Structure 1
Amino acid sequence: MISFSQVYKRYPNGYEALKNISFSLEAGEMALITGHSGAGKTTLLRLIAAIERPTSGSIIVNGQNVSTLKGGAIPFLRRNLGLVFQDQKILFDRNVFQNVLLPLQISGFGSTAATRRVRAALDKVGLLNREKAWPITLSGGEQQRLCIARAIVNRPSILIADEPTSNLDADYARDIMDMFVSFNQVGVAILIATHDVELLGSMQQRILTLNHGELAA
């Protein structure tokens, strides 16, 4: 499903964000990535989505070699990926329903099918009764749920999230992580970057630890 083989990421200024990363995430598996600030967690997730490209090594996602993927093929790769990043990119000039609808409009879904999918996604994250609300009126936890709804509306096989519980209180954070677990229980492969020690201690999933760009043994 996701496979890294001897992946390096070096920026033009010479900084090595990732060094010799090799690991696999199997279909239907859930894993957590942890590490200090600047360890390379965000870079690793951005490589999976082809937002950035590796300096060397191989990254296979759903059978496609992301390392050599041409630009025109990237939107098709991302249709099978649900992405939840820290820069949420919520559209504050559109209501909750319209925010979640956007990925389906881009994919060319018809109105009836799209409406059904949007409401199903909002129901899963507990926002169905807020579909007409403007994002500015949502709490921080509700805005994060909105981002998750938008990430899952295409029914992706893989969901990746970067610090999805940051800046949330403990109860909201627990609810968000429980939501990811429930998605995993129906077969979605999930990879989450987090530094939340309390959450890490309560999770049963495999934990990958990054230390200055390297995976700890």
Structure 2
Amino acid sequence: MIQFDQVSKRYPGSDEILQRVSFEIAAGELAFVTGHSGAGKSTLLKLMAAIDKPSSGTVLIGNQNVSKLRPRMIPYLRRKFGLVFQDHKLLYDRNCFENVALPLYINGITGLEAAKRIRAALDKVGLLGKEKAMPITLSGGEQQRLAIARAVVSRPAILIADEPTGNLDEGYAKEIMDLFDAFRQVGVTVIVATHDAHGIHRIEGKLLHLDHGKLLVA
């Protein structure tokens, strides 16, 4: 599903953020990306999601080489992904239903089909009863669950989360990690960048540990 072969990434005026990284993540697998701040975790996720391209090496998503994709094809590739960020990136002037609806509306899915998918996504994360609530009224854990609902409403094959539990207490963090494991159990490929050592040891998954841009465990 996802393959990195000797991938390096350097931004102009900087040292290499990633150095000759190689690994594979199979379809339906759960992988944790760990490492110190600045180790290259976020860069790795951006390469996986085709938000960025490697400086050298090969990134394969399915059978598609990200480096060789024409710009007009990248939006189609990104439809395979659901993205979850630490800071949620919610729209605070729209209610929960409208926040989750956004990816569907962008892809031209509206009406009854959209409503069905939105309520199903909210139900999966335990927020079906709060579809009319504004995000500001939710707890931190509920806001993160809302972000996850928005990420999965388009039924992505791959779910990528960048430090999704970084601002949550232990109880909420456990809930979020359990949600990711539940998606893995129904066949979604899940990649989580995290500092949550407890969550990693509690849930079975592949470990990708970065140290100053080098992959130590794969």
What TM-score, normalized to structure 1? 0.97
Q: Encode CA deviations 1:140-183: one digit per residue, 9 max, x unaligned.
A: 11110011000000101111111111110111100100011111
Residue 33 in structure 1 maps to residue 29 in structure 2: no
User: Quick one: which amino acid aligns to residue 90 of structure 1?
Assistant: L
Aligned to 1:177: 177
Kindly indicate whether the alpha-carbon contact (under 8 Å) linking 2:86 and 2:165 is maintained by their aligned counterparts in 1: no
Residue 184 of structure 1 deviates from its aligned partner by 0.5
Residue 214 in structure 1 maps to residue 208 in structure 2: no
Q: Encode CA deviations 1:48-96: one digit per residue, 9 max, x unaligned.
A: 1121111111111122111222221121111111111224221111111
Residue 58 in structure 1 maps to residue 58 in structure 2: yes
User: Quick one: which amino acid aligns to residue 40 of structure 1?
Assistant: G
Aligned to 2:125: 125
Aligned to 2:193: 193
Counterparts of 2:136 and 2:188 in 1: how far apart (Å)? 30
Counterparts of 1:143 and 1:136 in 2: how far apart (Å)? 8
Q: Identity of paired residues, percent?
A: 59
Aligned to 1:77: 77
- Please give the secondary structure, in 2, of the residue aligned with 1:94: coil
Query: Once structures 1 and 2 are overlaid, which stretch shifts more, 83-92 or 50-59?
Result: 83-92
- Please give the secondary structure, in 1, of the residue aligned with 2:82: strand
- Please give the secondary structure, in 2, of the residue aligned with 1:165: coil
Query: Once structures 1 and 2 are overlaid, which stretch shifts more, 78-87 or 102-111?
Result: 78-87
Counterparts of 1:206 and 1:44 in 2: how far apart (Å)? 15
Alignment of 1:26-175 (within 5 A): 26-175=26-175
Aligned to 1:5: 5
Q: Which runs of 5+ in 2 are unaligned?
A: none
Counterparts of 2:94 and 2:110 in 1: how far apart (Å)? 19
Counterparts of 2:88 and 2:164 in 1: how far apart (Å)? 10
Counterparts of 1:30 and 1:200 in 2: how far apart (Å)? 10
User: Quick one: which amino acid aligns to residue 49 of structure 2?
Assistant: A
Counterparts of 2:24 and 2:100 in 1: how far apart (Å)? 30
User: Quick one: which amino acid aligns to residue 96 of structure 2?
Assistant: V
Residue 127 of structure 1 deviates from its aligned partner by 0.6
Counterparts of 1:103 and 1:62 in 2: how far apart (Å)? 22
Residue 206 of structure 1 deviates from its aligned partner by 1.6
Aligned residues: 217
Counterparts of 2:85 and 2:75 in 1: how far apart (Å)? 17
Aligned to 2:20: 20
CA RMSD of aligned residues (A): 1.0
What TM-score, normalized to structure 2? 0.96
Q: Which runs of 5+ in 1 are unaligned?
A: none
User: Quick one: which amino acid aligns to residue 5 of structure 1?
Assistant: D
